[in-house]
């Protein structure tokens, strides 16, 4: 069956129940070509279940998940549309990297020359005749990615690719994925830590307890959280009074005795205390931490609390409510050609 060729991933009202357990609840988001989208949430949030539904490996209880406007099983030769790496390994330890790729290439109808191309793309040309059983973690993950790339797919889906990353692997994977997206392709990357993929992604879908917590551009999420200035003053009460008279209304004490001024800059506070003559012993500007915000958005899962709606009161540790985001069954099938199971980490070739 023909697809629309858009390269778009579309998830609408997707749900999955395993008996009484709701793994995914009414999840909706869109991933467009030309960008790297982070699919983020704590372990157990429902990320892998969602990706398995997208790839036709788990049947949804409700809702739809499409690639190029079609469910995975209607894509014709899906390996030419989407390449995926999910958890667990799938290499024969005695088979060389080249022979492993040739087996998968034959299964999807890719020519042998494509094997050499993908070995070069992932930096494994020099290890092509080595057995996969002797590969390091990083080399095994490069081989998993090479397998997913055999069909020259328009869409790339990676589950927890940063697990086990070394510094070389971080840089390599980041550059590869961004270059892949710049070609007009679609990249969806899951992770349980925002800090692991923050410099790689353009937009983000954050879920917790199977529910969407935020969906939108990463820059919008970053700008939504105001910085604050921490001031150690000789007379905190006098400082608070001067700040309020100057129009700074978001002022609060900190446990260590300092005064926190939210939404201010270090220069603004420095000018104010200089004019007022208040003695201060230190002024520190503290930028919003995206990782703190991520835990703020997902903290109900750890606390066993029910999910909170968008725009609700901030959880402890946040500096304000999250910005407006996108508001908000077990039948396994054989893995399709072009789908490669790997253990999710990208490292060097050590």
**Per-residue pLDDT tens digits for 30-57:** 999 999 999 999 988 999 999 999 999 9
Q: Evaluate whether residue 321 is within a structural domain.
A: no
Beta bridge partners of 12: 64
Look at the alpha carbons of 171, 174, 179, 182 in this order and tell me if their dihedral is positive or negative. negative
Comparison of pLDDT for 71 and 315, the residue scoring more: 71
> Which DSSP state fits 125?
G
- Separation CA 149–CA 168 (nearest Å): 21
Look at the alpha carbons of 171, 182, 214, 159 in this order and tell me if their dihedral is positive or negative. negative
Same domain, 58 and 127: yes
**What is the predicted pLDDT for the residue at 304?**
46
Indicate the pairing of strand 228-233 with strand 259-262. Answer: antiparallel
Q: Evaluate whether residue 279 is within a structural domain.
A: yes
Domain boundaries, position 232: 228-286
Q: Evaluate whether residue 96 is within a structural domain.
A: yes
Interhelix angle 137-149/97-108, nearest 10 degrees: 20
Q: Residue 204: what are its φ and ψ, rounded to 5°?
A: -140, 140
> Which DSSP state fits 307?
P
Per the structure, how many domains does the chain have? 2
- Separation CA 22–CA 211 (nearest Å): 10
Same domain, 112 and 155: yes
Indicate the pLDDT class of residue 3, thresholds 50, 70 and 90: low
Q: Each residue of 93-143: pLDDT tens digit? A: 899 999 999 999 999 999 999 999 999 999 899 999 999 999 888 888 889
**What is the predicted pLDDT for the residue at 288?**
63
**Among 55, 98, 115, 135, which residue's Cα sits nearest to residue 340?**
55
Same domain, 210 and 247: no
Query: Token pair of 231, please?
Result: 């001031």
Beta bridge partners of 37: 188, 203
The answer to whether residues 9 and 66 touch, using CB atoms and an 8 Å cutoff, is yes
Q: Tell me: pLDDT of 240 over 90.
A: yes
Q: Evaluate whether residue 347 is within a structural domain.
A: no
Same domain, 114 and 254: no
Same domain, 89 and 117: yes
Same domain, 174 and 278: no
Of all residues in the chain, the percent with pLDDT exceeding 90 is 58
Indicate the pairing of strand 21-31 with strand 9-18. Answer: antiparallel
CATH number for the domain including 195?
Answer: 3.40.50.300
Same domain, 262 and 186: no
Q: Evaluate whether residue 212 is within a structural domain.
A: yes
Same domain, 188 and 78: yes
Q: What is the mean pLDDT of residues 63-78?
A: 93
> Which DSSP state fits 308?
P
The answer to whether residues 90 and 341 touch, using CB atoms and an 8 Å cutoff, is yes
pTM of the model: 0.73
> Which whole-number Å values give the CA distances from 191 to 84, 158, 179, 240, 309, in the listed order?
15, 9, 20, 41, 22
Q: What is the mean pLDDT of residues 157-185?
A: 86
DSSP codes, 172-184? HHHHHHHHHHHTT
Q: Evaluate whether residue 296 is within a structural domain.
A: no
Q: Evaluate whether residue 22 is within a structural domain.
A: yes
Same domain, 27 and 43: yes
Same domain, 218 and 232: no
Question: How much is the mean pLDDT over the chain?
Answer: 83
Same domain, 335 and 255: no
Q: What is the mean pLDDT of residues 270-298?
A: 86
Q: Each residue of 26-35: pLDDT tens digit? A: 999 999 999 9
CATH number for the domain including 276?
Answer: 3.30.70.100
Q: Evaluate whether residue 308 is within a structural domain.
A: no
**What is the predicted pLDDT for the residue at 25?**
94
Indicate the pLDDT class of residue 88, thresholds 50, 70 and 90: low
Element (H, E) at 101: helix 97-108
Same domain, 29 and 149: yes
- Separation CA 185–CA 7 (nearest Å): 7
């Amino acid at each position: 069956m023909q697809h629309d060729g858009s390269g778009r991933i579309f998830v609408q009202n997707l749900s999955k129940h395993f008996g009484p357990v709701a793994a995914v609840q009414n999840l909706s988001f869109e991933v467009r070509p030309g960008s790297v989208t982070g699919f983020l949430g704590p372990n157990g949030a429902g990320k892998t279940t969602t990706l398995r539904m997208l790839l036709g490996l788990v049947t949804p209880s409700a809702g739809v998940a499409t690639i190029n406007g079609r469910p995975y099983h209607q894509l014709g030769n899906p390996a030419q549309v989407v390449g995926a790496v999910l958890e667990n390994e799938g290499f024969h330890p005695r088979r060389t990297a080249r022979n492993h790729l040739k087996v998968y290439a034959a299964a999807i109808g890719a020519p042998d020359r494509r094997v050499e191309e993908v070995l070069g793309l992932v930096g494994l040309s020099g290890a092509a005749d080595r057995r996969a059983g002797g590969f390091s973690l990083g080399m095994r993950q490069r081989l998993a990615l090479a397998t997913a790339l055999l069909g020259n797919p328009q869409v790339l889906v990676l589950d927890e690719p940063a697990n086990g990353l070394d510094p070389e692997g971080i840089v390599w994977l980041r550059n590869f994925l961004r270059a892949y997206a710049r070609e007009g392709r679609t990249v969806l990357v899951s992770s349980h830590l925002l800090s692991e993929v923050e410099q790689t992604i353009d937009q983000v879908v954050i879920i917790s307890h199977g529910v969407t917590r935020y969906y939108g551009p990463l820059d919008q999420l970053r700008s939504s959280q105001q910085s604050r200035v921490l001031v150690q003053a000789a007379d905190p009460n006098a400082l608070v009074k001067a700040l309020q008279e100057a129009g700074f209304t978001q002022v609060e004490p900190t446990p260590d005795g300092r005064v926190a001024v939210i939404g201010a800059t270090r220069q603004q506070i420095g000018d104010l205390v200089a004019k007022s003559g208040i003695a201060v012993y230190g002024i520190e500007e503290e930028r919003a931490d995206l990782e703190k915000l991520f835990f703020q958005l997902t903290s109900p899962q750890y606390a066993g609390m029910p999910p909170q709606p968008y725009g609700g009161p901030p959880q402890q540790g946040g500096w304000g409510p999250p910005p407006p985001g996108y508001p908000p069954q077990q039948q396994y099938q054989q893995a399709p050609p072009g789908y490669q199971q790997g253990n999710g980490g990208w490292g060097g070739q050590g």
